[in-house]
A and B are shown apart, each in its own frame.
Chain A
């Protein structure tokens, strides 16, 4: 076991851990989006979904701690590799042109950092309820916490909506490059599936972002009240 970990100390190994943790986080984001889509089924569905999660505190906290540590690894290694990469080119080119690198791939650090800030805000805002604690303790007719109303309330504020949309832009960009990149880093290559694998990032990114944006805009535009 020690030797297995020692093996992955090389920069490629670190990349692999980044890829795996990243894929884990992407999986969570996907599940999170799918769960939240229950907003469209009305207050009952969403609130009982939230209650269902809260009824299993051990699982919930295990997942939360797992996600946190995954994120810490992901970000820590990103910083480590990022510093290594900066050291690898101490003098920049005076003129530099890209040939084929996508915008998403060039902005991974920026989109990653934006995402980190956004997630922090999101946790304080909707999970912990530190920002705007208005609906924290309200219960619905069935006695569940009224998450539905909290969300609806939140996205009626144009500033919050703007911030969340920006967060989605960061998320979309990050996922766009991340998924195909992770597959490549994990050493999976298949000539026949090449185009499919390349499309995975943009497609999954788009699905997650569209799902999330649909929730935000549906509330903001008054489609969901």
Chain B
């Protein structure tokens, strides 16, 4: 029976983390040398954790499937990173960042975790400056800030539109230093395919060298997963094509609880999907909504060109529904509003998937040059992708899966329900509750990697009994066997459909039934359809080549196979959560004017799912107590 012990320290919110750190046991420097930690993933969380652990004196083996740790998808984050520095003296504080994050997450995250995140945020920025990250500066030489994601203070630090890139390169450079020192051994182009548990503790992984196809076991004293989110389960998302659920899903099958999988963030401003060949959706910065106005024709199937539609025939739907926030309504609200008008048949562009994001008013008032200066690069990108000139015709945008708040359940120490298995960054169920605010994913990834995990893992290593185990331990051999069997199975189906075809089909299914809004009948039908699709996959998938060579299609097929199982868990969670909160919108639970209805009495908990072989997963509940911020209704009207 799974027990969820969140290990939240008692006492006042402000001093929980400090007191907890003091009560943690330390590992002496001599002993650190004899301890090995495996870090899987080298994005913001993974690279910062691996480098810090290396610096502390542990032996670290770091794995990533890319050719270099610098390519993880953290690199694509554009906007910035939040920190409660209050450099602008506009009333920001740790408390306010904490409050904004809790409220933005629609009261589905842990107070203690979020408070710690807000506390650590200030250290992150200092650390990043020390690492040489070229944050934007004012003329006087101080750090510049901007406001982001619908909050009332300017607390976002940024490097043009490439903040994620710069932060990742900073963590990567720290990692490079530790590799040079011999503290970290990097394994690029190596993918985790299974976890090795010995006596119930996570003691290693099975990984495949993607170049030679060699499968080997790597043993350690603890394993850290920093493998990101699973938005790609929808096939089309803003994630990189390599992003996958494999590591966290396989850990789940070994007994790590998976928390709140249905909390998936759909970002409102992506370029709409084009034809069936499309492989990815491109995000347009959220900042466009500062000046652009969203509208659709009032009449459905109005095929006039946008310029010919007169004002009375236009519906500026966000301004109409949310007069107070207008076009700046939060991500989940805006995405849903777009979906509503598209479902009414008023969407524009191919397939009616899209709404106009119109800059003509601001261009008229402030001039074209102002728009060009602010958004020139985005307009250029839009033009390159769509071939349309947004200075002449309004942009078209459509929501796209972007981030997953759900992930492996972790306690206050970031350890999953499997002892010795730590989960950081987007891969854990995190501090974002049911909806993430802009510029806080970078903050969380680095908080976990630089400042939280290195402390908490030490306590585990100092207190757990960890007998030495050889590389060819029976559990390791068995795990290798499992992996080899599975690869063999994939290669021998020799069917006629490609993994991409299954992936696309699964994505469409999920997007329709478990996307921006969900309902019982849709979810139950999805739960019926997914196993069928999975069976078809194992009967009819085509994977060419062999397992002993560089085989990208084999890698991909393995990931799709995991998505085909994981999708079911996603739907189970969405079905069980009979309320609307944050990014999770159940059509049955809405107010008369279509606003989400949260149910704190019944659902103020973290749903942590336990894997059961051959049967439906079991949900365990970690109740969420709000001692310091009483839950309120999130209203943006």
A and B touch in the complex (CB under 8 A): no
Residues of chain A having any CB pair with chain B under 8 Å: none
B binding-site residues for A, Cβ under 8 Å: none
